Structure 1
């Protein structure tokens, strides 16, 4: 194993509540629709801008996109808290000499807001956002781009995510995640960060 590539929302950070909040503000203001978290989750796949362009009925889509980012940034620190175990995991992986990356459907703009707010900037060896691909997950375009940039073969890396679109390894280690039951069985499934570390160590002891 030479690299671990992560999804972001619901995997590296519990950002789903702020995503729901920002989208709910957009749809109530522009379409007068009070959407549930489940209704918003069903739209996931494209980046935030793609979701708004594809699902918003109101023609003022650019204004709606700006409102999304305004609400996302304005309430990020209230709704999204740093996670000590995730930070420990990242330090642990880097201490083992593994490359770490992000492949996410998020737009670069919102990912940058989150990385800065959570003090996770300049940590990852590669980042592929929804803006960097034509075909979002589960299409492998983003993962293939990340592996190419890292110069690593696909059998030397693992992809970790929390939804059916994240097909290699499923995790449910944060309070909010996208998939409660995977329709496609992941290669491995982890309910805690430490369980994942044990897996990497093949059941041996680990030090953080």
Structure 2
């Protein structure tokens, strides 16, 4: 029986896609004086930001690059980010059913908590594990296992809801059940590649999996 649901944040709970794309375009223009393709940026979704920035901007001071990225997001977050349809209603329903809820994200802790508080959904989660809480990142199982442990649950009773290959592989590596959101452009491709049984059309569909 499922008694625990853990969520990714970006692309799963909140539509941050365009803001992330715009943030990368901003720093590519600022530091490298060139454009960056949307397909490449989207291929990094789910990867810890520091890994992406170190790989692509290694010749620059890391703090300068990440500060420029964060500065852009601070000014644009309220205009460019929204919760996906039925997210808050679903979280409230699950919480009222005494389902344990957590977040395992590749975001940094500070920005994760600010985002959850911005949308007034932090109250639903008893464990939030971010990139700076672990030494190994998705697709490694460590972030998800840490949430499951903090929630005093077990992998076989846990759903992990995400939108990227990193989320799917993290769930599989942790022996939890992967649940894929169906609203990203590559959702069907990922579902087919990983033979995912549970694909959500909207977040509320998750309630049908909880008995």
Could you tell me how far apart the structure 2 residues matched to 1:146 and 1:165 are? 16
Report the counterpart of residue 42 of structure 2 in structure 1: 41
Report the counterpart of residue 23 of structure 1 in structure 2: 24
Report the counterpart of residue 204 of structure 1 in structure 2: none
Unpaired runs of 5+ residues, structure 2, are 169-177
Could you tell me how far apart the structure 2 residues matched to 1:81 and 1:8 are? 12
CA shift, 1:83, in A, is 4.1
Could you tell me how far apart the structure 2 residues matched to 1:89 and 1:195 are? 8
> Over aligned residues, Cα RMSD in angstroms?
1.9
Report the counterpart of residue 204 of structure 2 in structure 1: 194
Q: How does 1:1-208 map to 2 (within 5 A)?
A: 1-83=2-84, 85-167=86-168, 168-173=178-183, 176=184, 179-182=187-190, 183-201=193-211
8 A Cα contact 1:11 1:177, kept in partner: no
Aligned residue pair count? 199
User: After the TM superposition, which segments of 4 or more aligned residues of structure 1 sit over 3 Å from their partners?
Assistant: 176-180
CA shift, 1:114, in A, is 1.8
Change (3 A) 1:194 1:84: closer
Q: Secondary structure of 1:75's match?
A: helix
Could you tell me how far apart the structure 1 residues matched to 2:35 and 2:114 are? 25
Structure with more helix by fraction: 2
Could you tell me how far apart the structure 2 residues matched to 1:160 and 1:135 are? 19
Could you tell me how far apart the structure 2 residues matched to 1:178 and 1:72 are? 24
Normalising by structure 1, we get a TM-score of 0.87
